[in-house]
Amino acid sequence: MSLPPPPPLVPTPDSALEQRGVDVIRGLAMDAPRAARSGHPGTAMALAPLAHVLFTRILRHDPSDPHWADRDRFVLSNGHASILLYSMLHLTGYGLTLDDLRDFRTWGSATPGHPELHHTAGVEVTTGPLGQGFANGVGMGIAERWLRDRFSPEVCDHHTYVVAGDGCLEEGISHEAASLAGHLRLGRLVYVYDDNHITIDGPTELSLNDNAAERFAAYGWAVDDIGDVANDLDALESALLRARADEDRPSLIILRSHIGYPAPSLTDSSKAHGDPFNDEETRRTKEILGLPVDEPFWVPEDVLAMYRSTIPRGQAMRAEWESRLDSWGGDRARFDAALSGRGMPGWEATLPTFSPADGPMATRKAIKVCLDATQDQLPGLMPGSADLTGNTGMALAGATAQSVEEPGGSLIHYGIREHAMGAVMTGMATHGGTIPVGGTFFVFSDYMRGAVRVAALSRAHVIYSWTHDSVGLGQDGPTHQPIEQLAAIRAMPGLRVIRPADANETAQAWRVAVDGDGPTALILTRQDLPVLEATAELAPEGVARGAYVLADPGDGPAQIVLLGTGSEVSLCLDAARLLTEAGTRVRVVSLPSWELFAEQGAAYRDVVLPPGIPVLSVEAATTFGWERYADDSLGIDHFGASAPGEVVMREFGFDPVNVAARATALLGRS
């Protein structure tokens, strides 16, 4: 089933009125950066006709309900042109006012320098870092196709439209994402490449002579090079309709535009890219456009009325979808849970519990047990990996791989494309309908850091399974052994980082990740770890609070605290036994998540780490940052070495005898 295209904005478009609307958009694109003394007018001016056609003739959207589940998605990947999107959101009635446009790029405004999800109604993803939006769109295409196949075209049947520029196509992430989209043949993706031949430094020919058409055709995309028609509304509409009709491949429309058009001195100039026009250039351009030169932010009533008629048109389309949803005979509870990115009520009851008798288990294996056990109660679960599916616990039992032949497949093979994987998952999460989980080795989180940062900014509900978390992975050596990565990702605001100590803590980390808002990073071991005696009882509350007391002396208050994370918690317990035999009273604390622990009140933190008692932190990673909790730190402030994992750990001092010696020395100094 494929729905018919939406009706035109007006039955017989008034070409003169439409052209005036385009010119008004260009006026706003000049006025807002002028008012802010900052911004990017040129691309917005060049693409004003495209934006007009998209928002009035193509997109299925309802400005009165920006979150309607079956709306078309629009992504402005070249987010520096944000004033173009803001102008359309004002004109078509998403709630932005002219005062919001006047406040462009000012403190507390609804119109920040680049579009931000959850900040401005009508913005689908946070864009600005070039190429991220390009890859987000691929994730949206995956989510739409998966929902359509899993549940029915009756409840999910829409397209994703992405506008991208030269910078997006130059960034490596777009190559990764385009290759994946072509491989999966995501036919509901329509991309417009704004080929304006201008970058900040000057003409693109300074650094770029790619043949984009041949490159994307090689990826398996349908390519339509429509040439220099950026001001031809009907030609733009025809190209978009052709692309939308192709159900078998993602589509790239190559549009030759002229940045800053029709500015008399700055058209096709790099100065039109990132600098507001001066007074004289603004006046001369407005004279060419027929706009009042002394009335900034001019929007005449007939133009506004034309654009606002988008609202009843969108409301009718949404009402038709709601009617179909109401009469749909599918499983509404599972569909709603998928859309919300949550589990079915009571899903936590399916979480596994482990005992020491089960034997040692790597936490990367424990996460697979958790996914397998809970998958039936998580309707939107879509794990995947960057060519490390079995290694990272993402090999979901019974799942088929997402493909052309299996559009409802829940397992995604991202290939060796870590950066695209991260951004694609963000697009899947912001689209809604899925819980994306992506795995790779922890050291390669560096390759996807840009996408992780955007996910944190966006509060996107994505989960990272980052495994092989320390020098304990062994003989692959320092290139694969993460040292500084833990400190680096802990420094990122909005990212929940959990490094579980055993299988039970892993299960509770999975619960926190699924139920929590925003992105979560699970930091998991390659090597087997013992299932600890008390975690089945203590981890459900302890992991959710970030840290908890795992062991305490039985004969009085503790004299010292051993504070561990992940694989080093069992090491702390072994060292505590040695210290106890020597007459020292020891508390062992597991601290799987700095972020969750920081959210607790000071009273709880003081209960776990009592003031006045010395603390030794033990973690097989850099000691950077541990001074916030520890008086001394056993860590690794250098790169690793190639040898069996247990040898590397021992040589770097991660054995019970050395931990006990470091604790004794700290206690002596204290």
DSSP string, 280-325: HHHHHHHHHHT--TT-TT---HHHHHHHHTHHHHHHHHHHHHHHHH
Q: Residue 523 and residue 544: Cα distance in Å, rounded?
A: 15
300 and 352 assigned to the same domain: no
- Determine the average pLDDT of the residues in 461-482: 97
Give the CA distances from residue 249 to residues 167, 239, 413, 415, in Å, rounded to whole numbers and listed in that order: 23, 15, 18, 19
Q: How confident is the model at residue 554 (pLDDT cuts 50, 70, 90)?
A: confident
299 and 379 assigned to the same domain: no
pLDDT value for 4: 55
Residue 399: phi, psi to the nearest 5?
Answer: -80, 145
Active site residue 651: no
Is a pLDDT exceeding 70 seen at residue 12? Answer: no
- Determine the average pLDDT of the residues in 17-23: 98
CATH assignment at residue 161: 3.40.50.970
Asked whether residue 93 is assigned to any structural domain, the reply reads yes
Q: Indicate the burial class of 329 (C-beta count within 10 angstroms; 0-12, 13-18, 19 or more).
A: exposed
Q: Residue 103 and residue 82: Cα distance in Å, rounded?
A: 13
Range of the domain at 607: 545-669
Asked whether residue 1 is assigned to any structural domain, the reply reads no
491 and 563 assigned to the same domain: no
Q: Residue 460 and residue 482: Cα distance in Å, rounded?
A: 25
199 and 70 assigned to the same domain: yes
Q: Indicate the burial class of 214 (C-beta count within 10 angstroms; 0-12, 13-18, 19 or more).
A: exposed
Q: Which of 383, 400, 401 is nearest to 392 (CA)?
A: 383
- Strands, sheet with 412-413, edge to edge from the N-terminal-most edge strand: 412-413, 381-385, 435-441, 463-467, 520-523, 496-498
pLDDT value for 6: 55
Is a pLDDT exceeding 90 seen at residue 523? Answer: yes
Asked whether residue 442 is assigned to any structural domain, the reply reads yes
Out of 116, 124, 176, 418, the active site residue is 418
559 and 599 assigned to the same domain: yes
Helices 503-515 + 535-544 axis angle, to 10: 30
Q: pLDDT (tens digit, 9 = 90+) per residue, 587-641?
A: 999 999 999 999 999 999 999 999 999 999 999 999 999 999 999 999 999 999 9
643 and 511 assigned to the same domain: no
For residue 475, the number of C-alpha atoms closer than 13 Å in the C-beta half-sphere is: 1
DSSP 7: P
Report yes or no on whether pTM surpasses 0.95.
yes
Q: Residue 569 and residue 619: Cα distance in Å, rounded?
A: 9
Q: Residue 122 and residue 65: Cα distance in Å, rounded?
A: 9
Asked whether residue 56 is assigned to any structural domain, the reply reads yes
553 and 516 assigned to the same domain: no
495 and 610 assigned to the same domain: no
46 and 144 assigned to the same domain: yes
Q: 574 and 562 in contact (C-beta within 8 Å)?
A: no
91 and 184 assigned to the same domain: yes
pLDDT value for 2: 52
Instruction: List the beta bridge partners of residue 314.
Output: none
Residue 282: CB partners within 8 Å, gap ≥ 6? Answer: 30, 31, 34, 293
Q: pLDDT (tens digit, 9 = 90+) per residue, 398-435?
A: 999 999 999 999 999 999 999 999 999 999 999 999 99
Residue 296 amino acid letter: P
Q: How many distinct structural domains can be found in the chain? A: 3
- Give the other-Cβ count within 10 Å of 435's Cβ: 24
Q: Residue 464 and residue 407: Cα distance in Å, rounded?
A: 23
What value, to the nearest 5°, has the Cα angle with vertex 547 and ends 657 and 527? Answer: 50
- Determine the average pLDDT of the residues in 334-362: 97
Domain boundary among 523, 554, 569: 523
Instruction: List the beta bridge partners of residue 222.
Output: 251
Domain boundary among 488, 523, 558: 523
Residue 418: CB partners within 8 Å, gap ≥ 6? Answer: 386, 440, 444, 445, 447, 448
- Determine the average pLDDT of the residues in 504-522: 98
376 and 455 assigned to the same domain: yes
Domain boundary among 305, 329, 363: 305
DSSP 92: H
Asked whether residue 534 is assigned to any structural domain, the reply reads no
Asked whether residue 215 is assigned to any structural domain, the reply reads yes
Q: Indicate the burial class of 205 (C-beta count within 10 angstroms; 0-12, 13-18, 19 or more).
A: exposed
CATH assignment at residue 560: 3.40.50.920
Give the CA distances from residue 335 to residues 157, 221, 379, in Å, rounded to whole numbers and listed in that order: 14, 31, 7
Give the CA distances from residue 304 to residues 21, 22, 88, 351, in Å, rounded to whole numbers and listed in that order: 8, 12, 11, 54
Asked whether residue 311 is assigned to any structural domain, the reply reads no
Q: pLDDT (tens digit, 9 = 90+) per residue, 492-506?
A: 999 999 999 999 999
* Location of structure tokens 């994505």: 462
Q: How confident is the model at residue 342 (pLDDT cuts 50, 70, 90)?
A: very high
Q: Residue 101 and residue 110: Cα distance in Å, rounded?
A: 8
Q: How confident is the model at residue 11 (pLDDT cuts 50, 70, 90)?
A: very low
Q: Residue 379 and residue 439: Cα distance in Å, rounded?
A: 19
- Determine the average pLDDT of the residues in 349-353: 98
Residue 531 amino acid letter: V
Asked whether residue 529 is assigned to any structural domain, the reply reads no
Q: 162 and 189 in contact (C-beta within 8 Å)?
A: yes
What value, to the nearest 5°, has the Cα angle with vertex 314 and ends 313 and 316? Answer: 70
571 and 641 assigned to the same domain: yes
Q: pLDDT (tens digit, 9 = 90+) per residue, 34-74?
A: 999 999 999 999 999 999 999 999 999 999 999 999 999 99
Residue 163: phi, psi to the nearest 5?
Answer: -110, 125
Mean pLDDT of the chain: 96
pLDDT > 70: what percent of the chain?
98
